Structure 1
Amino acid sequence: MSQHKLTYAFLGPAGTFSDMAVRALVERGSLSADYESLPCDSLPEVFEAVERGKADYGVVPIENSLEGSVTAVLDAFAFTSRAEILGEIAIDIHQALLLNPDATLDEVTTIASHTQGIGQCRRWINQNLPNRQLRLADSTAAAAEMAAADKSVAAIASPLAAEICGINVYEEAIEDNLSSQTRFVIIGKGPVAHDGPGKSTLALFMNTDRPGTLQMILSELFFAGVNLTMVQSRPTKQELGDYMFFMDIDGYADEPNIQVALNCLRMKMREVKVIGSYPRSV
């Protein structure tokens, strides 16, 4: 009897940085090497594939070291999805300028990429291809497909996308900051083994907006001896000026001191949601 292959959903098509993150997680042993890919057209579709059982796991970007958090992913965790974070990995992001094999740089009138790709290469674009039209694509690999179909379009994407689409790498490493990294997370359901130092991601919702709320949260973490590594506010999408907080803390949610902090916060806030408690990437 053949063993069931796992299915991994990610922002497609093949050759995106999300695809690269899946491959890196497989290589590291965090995901099984016996799998089928499920490229999705958007990040919400990745969450939906996991929720509906079309995929066993999803891999989504959550934060870039230059462009900040991926708000569509944060909002999905906070408001629409029951998926949990099961693991994470940070990968180096190296963007390349890709051209149709029949194109020269002078023929390029449009530069296509995902909004993060364009944001990471603004200086290079302004210095080397000023006054070109910028076209947003659903992913960097989708931009590579545009370049493959139209020689007036250059794509900002990975060399892997060029290889898959059969187009040329004109110049590598065009990102403004060569230390750019993106953190990806595995989403799904189920228990997570305590494999090394832990990390937990929280979503905290206030009862009412009042002075000192953030100070109160930080005080509870401090008194419990919990180390805060990230905090960010996001609108709740209910009314103007109504915000909630995302936080990353060191440690697993079932550790005694973190349990103390969470229980104290739950008595003072409308909701404290543990989005995931998982091994910290090193």
Structure 2
Amino acid sequence: MKFSVLGPAGTFADAAAHAYLLAHPINNVEIDYHATFDQVYQAVEPDGIGLLPLENQLDGFVLATLQRLQVADVTEIGEVTVPVNFGLAGRVNRLADIKRIFVQFKTEGQCQKLLSQLPDAQIITTSSNMISVSKLRHGVDGDAAIIPQSQLAVQAFPFKLDNVADQDNNATRFIVFKKQPATLTMPARPVEDATAMFKFPLFVTPPTEEPGVLHQILTYPTDAHLNLVTIMSLPTRQKIGIYSFYIEISGTFAQRQVLFETLNQMAQVYTLHPLGFYAV
């Protein structure tokens, strides 16, 4: 079975995939690396799984993943959070000598303090942190890159700085998914621990934009005593002012019947795009 992730090997996505497999062992699994979010999604086979970054502690939600989830027929089966930290490596002798710097698009928002010290350096955005490493390896004098902290010890560059993220206790949450549509049907399997926690992510799209529509949506999980842990709005792209709301509902497995009853009530009023039910 293939496990499709953002690559190449050594990325935080790679670390997240191995962390997930450590917690959820799968026989005969092969890590399948791809350069972009879309390639990861497209590569997931019928019997395979994929992994994409969803949320960073410092820089918030990953818009590219949310936009894919908004229209994709996927079932999330789990999530994994891994620590994230960065170092700076360069073909320079000092920080002031940096003329251009390679930075993964999401990493940039997590290292603003460092980048503010380089106002004259050209920032070149990359699709993965390991591509930043590769760009620097094949670069010229004056080049630098923000790379995974773990890579500083194995890369031979004349200038290095440790721990350049804006905050030491940084982390990224990844989702693991299958390429099949999720449903609003309660899983039939028995629950061994009714106190164990679940998460159910979905998109909710109201038929029209009107005052109080978000409040109306939120009353459903509130009245059912379900915990709303996330809410984000994304445009539907059909008309200005009409938004779809990404939400994550959490609760205990003892509440799963009320969860699905609530979701089916909501489906009578709104367009729901479910994304799966899994333990956390």
TM-score by length of 1: 0.86
TM-superposed deviation, 1:36: 2.0
- Larger relative helix fraction: 1
Quote the residue 1:242 is aligned against.
242
User: Are residues 1:84 and 2:75 paired?
Assistant: yes
Quote the residue 1:35 is aligned against.
29
Q: 2:123 aligns with which of 134, 153, 156?
A: 134
Deviations 1:187-231 (A, max 9, x none): 115798868311110111111111121111111111112111111
User: Are residues 1:19 and 2:10 paired?
Assistant: no
Contact 1:144 1:162 in 2 (8 A): no
Secondary structure in 2 matching 1:87 = strand
Query: CA–CA distance in 2 between the matches of 1:257 and 1:166?
Result: 57
Secondary structure in 2 matching 1:241 = coil
Contact 1:9 1:39 in 2 (8 A): yes
Matched AA of 1:276: G
Alpha carbons of 1:207 and 1:253: their partners in 2 closer, same or farther (altered >3 Å)? farther
Query: CA–CA distance in 2 between the matches of 1:262 and 1:126?
Result: 46
Contact 1:96 1:157 in 2 (8 A): yes
After TM superposition, the structure 1 = structure 2 runs for residues 1-282 of structure 1, keeping only pairs within 5 Å, are 6-27=1-22, 29-32=23-26, 34-50=28-44, 52-53=45-46, 56-79=48-71, 81-100=72-91, 103-105=92-94, 107-127=97-117, 129-151=118-140, 152-162=142-152, 170-189=160-179, 196-251=196-251, 255-269=256-270, 271-280=271-280
Query: CA–CA distance in 1 between the matches of 2:154 and 2:29?
Result: 19
Query: CA–CA distance in 1 between the matches of 2:154 and 2:179?
Result: 31
Contact 1:200 1:277 in 2 (8 A): yes
Secondary structure in 2 matching 1:218 = helix
Contact 2:93 2:158 in 1 (8 A): no
Matched AA of 2:13: S
Structure 1 stretch displaced more, 168-177 or 129-138: 168-177
Alpha carbons of 1:149 and 1:182: their partners in 2 closer, same or farther (altered >3 Å)? same
Matched AA of 1:43: F
Quote the residue 1:3 is aligned against.
none
Structure 1: any 5+ residue segments left out of the alignment? 1-5
Deviations 1:45-104 (A, max 9, x none): 111111x54x7111110011121111111111111x21221111111110111235xx43
Deviations 1:216-268 (A, max 9, x none): 11111111121111111100111221211000111369811111211111111
Alpha carbons of 1:7 and 1:160: their partners in 2 closer, same or farther (altered >3 Å)? farther
Contact 1:59 1:185 in 2 (8 A): yes
Contact 1:93 1:180 in 2 (8 A): yes
Superposed CA RMSD = 2.5
Contact 2:102 2:144 in 1 (8 A): yes
Alpha carbons of 1:200 and 1:155: their partners in 2 closer, same or farther (altered >3 Å)? same
Query: CA–CA distance in 1 between the matches of 2:273 and 2:80?
Result: 22
